[in-house]
Amino acid sequence: MILAFALAAVLPYTSAQSAEFQLTADFQKYFPGDGTPFAISINFSGEKETEYKMSVWIYGGKNSTYLSKVWNGTKWLGGTGYYITIITDKDGGWSGIVPMEIIKMPDAGYDYYLKLSVKDCVYQKIYGEGNFSIIPKSDCGWVEGYAERDGIYLSGEVVEAFAGSAVVGGNDRNGAPAGRCISENNGIDENYKEFAGYFRFALPAGNYTIKYSGGAFWNVPVVAGKTAALNNRTFSFIVHNVTAFVSPDCYFDALSSALQSAKESISINIYEFTSPFLYDIVAEMANCNVSVRILAEGSPVGGMKESEKWILNSLASLGCEVRFWKKPKGSVYDHAKYAVIDNRSVVVGSANWGATGVPKDNTFGNREWGIVLRDEKVARGLLDVFEYDWATAEKAKLDAGKEPARTAAHGAYEPSFVPENFNGNFNARLVFSPENSREEIIRLIRSATDTIFVEQLYIYTYWDNKQSPLVSELINASARGVEVRVILNYNKMYESSYAAYDPKSSENVAAYLREHSNHSISVKLFETGEKSIFANVHNKGVIVDNRSVLVSSINWNENSVCNNREVGVIIDSEAAAQYYADAFFRDWDMNKKSAAGAGEDGGIEKQGKMPDMGTAGIVFALLIAMPCASVLGGCGARRARRGRR
pLDDT in tens, 241-275: 999 999 999 999 999 999 999 999 999 999 999 99
Specify the pLDDT at position 342: 97
Report which listed range, 53-57, 91-95, 309-313, 532-536, is most confident.
309-313
Q: For residue 344, report the phi and psi dihedrals to the nearest 5 degrees.
A: -130, -20
Residue 463 lies in a domain: yes
Q: How far apart are CA 529 and CA 532, in angstroms?
A: 5
The pLDDT confidence band at residue 67, using thresholds 50, 70 and 90, is: confident
In a domain, 532, yes or no: yes
The pLDDT value recorded for residue 297 is 96
Lowest mean pLDDT among 167-176, 459-468, 476-485, 610-619: 610-619
For the residues 471-487, what does the mean pLDDT come to?
96
> Is there a single domain that holds both residue 214 and residue 158?
yes
Residue 180 in this model has a pLDDT that exceeds 80? no
Looking at the structure, tell me whether residues 88 and 176 fall in a common domain: no
Tell me the one-letter amino acid at 140. C
Q: Give the residue-averaged pLDDT of 623-629.
A: 31
- Shared domain for 429 and 577, answered yes or no, is yes
Confidence of residue 226 (pLDDT cuts 50, 70, 90): low
Least confident of 57-66, 192-201, 260-269, 348-357: 192-201
Q: 517 pLDDT exceeds 90?
A: no
User: What is the chain's mean pLDDT, rounded?
Assistant: 76
Question: Burial of 164 by CB count in 10 Å (0-12 exposed, 13-18 middle, 19+ buried)?
Answer: middle
Confidence of residue 200 (pLDDT cuts 50, 70, 90): low
Residue 514 sits in the same domain as residue 606 = yes
CATH of the domain at 246: 3.30.870.10
Is the four-CA dihedral 592, 598, 602, 604 of positive or negative sign?
positive
CATH number, residue 56? 2.60.40.10
pLDDT score at 547: 97
560-583 burial, b at 16+ Cβ within 10 Å, e below that, comes to: bbbbbbbbbbbbbbbbbbbbbbbb
Query: Do 463 and 608 belong together in one domain?
Result: yes
CA distance 509 to 522: 12
**What are 288-324's pLDDT values in tens digits?**
999 999 999 999 999 999 999 999 999 999 999 999 9
pLDDT given for residue 99 in this prediction: 77
For residues 75-80, average pLDDT: 74
Query: Which pLDDT does position 190 carry in this prediction?
Result: 38
Same-domain pairing of 52 and 85: yes
Measure the CA–CA gap between 623 and 612, rounded to whole angstroms: 26
> 234 or 548: whose pLDDT is higher?
548
| 216 & 278 share domain | no
d(CA 443, CA 448) in angstroms, rounded, equals 9
pLDDT of residue 170: 55
Q: What share of the chain is helix, strand, coil (3-state, %, to 5)?
A: 20, 40, 40
User: Is there a contact between 606 and 510 (Cβ–Cβ < 8 Å)?
Assistant: no
Supply the pLDDT for residue 331: 74
Residues in a beta bridge with 395: 323
Tell which residue, 635, 420, 456, has the closest CA to residue 560: 456
The H-or-E segment that residue 493 falls in is helix 492-498
Answer yes or no: do 105 and 170 share one domain: no
Instruction: Report the alpha-carbon distance of residue 640 to residue 376 in Å, rounded.
Output: 32
Residue type, 623: L
pTM over 0.75: no
For position 323, what pLDDT does the model report? 95
Which pLDDT does position 183 carry in this prediction?
52
Question: What is the domain range of residue 55?
Answer: 1-135
**Final residue before a domain boundary, out of 135, 153, 174:** 135
Q: Name the more confident of 114 and 283.
A: 283
Nearest CA to 338 out of 384, 391, 396 is that of 384
Q: Which residue type, as a one-letter code, is found at position 42?
A: I
Residue 619, in any domain of the structure: no
Same domain, 389 and 441: no
**Residue 310: closest CA among 302, 621, 318, 348:** 318
- What's the pLDDT at 239? 94
pLDDT at 504: 55
Q: Tell whether 416 is covered by a domain.
A: no
- Which residue, 208, 231, 254, sits at the end of a domain? 231
- Reference 638, options 551, 574, 579; nearest CA is 579
Distance CA 71, CA 544 (A): 41
Residue type, 535: A
Give CA–CA dist 373/392, Å, rounded: 27
Domain final position from 358, 387, 410: 410
User: Could you please report the per-residue DSSP string of 559-612?
Assistant: HHHHTSBEEEEEEE-HHHHHHHHHHHHHHHTTS-SPPBTTSTT-PPEEE-BPPP
215 phi/psi in degrees, rounded to 5:
75, 15
- Judge contact between 32 and 102, C-beta under 8 A: yes
Q: Average pLDDT, stretch 376-403? A: 86
Neighbour tally for 645: CB within 10 Å: 13
431 within a domain of the structure (yes/no): yes
pLDDT of residue 340: 98
Looking at residue 571, its pLDDT comes to 98
> Looking at the domain assignment, is residue 643 inside a domain?
no
Query: Are 567 and 436 members of one domain?
Result: yes
Number of domains in the chain: 4
Residues 130 and 150 in one domain: no
- β-pairing, 30-32 vs 548-552, is unpaired
The helix/strand count (H/E) of the chain reads as 10, 42
- Please report whether residue 638 resides in a domain: no
Residues 120 and 55: beta-carbon distance below 8 Å: no
567, HSE (Cβ side, Cα atoms, 13 Å): 30
Same domain assignment for residues 198 and 288: no
Report residue 225's pLDDT band, with 50, 70 and 90 as the boundaries.
low
Mean pLDDT across the stretch 342-356?
97
- 37 in a domain, yes or no? yes
Q: Does position 618 have pLDDT exceeding 60, yes or no?
A: no
Flag whether pLDDT at 121 surpasses 70: no
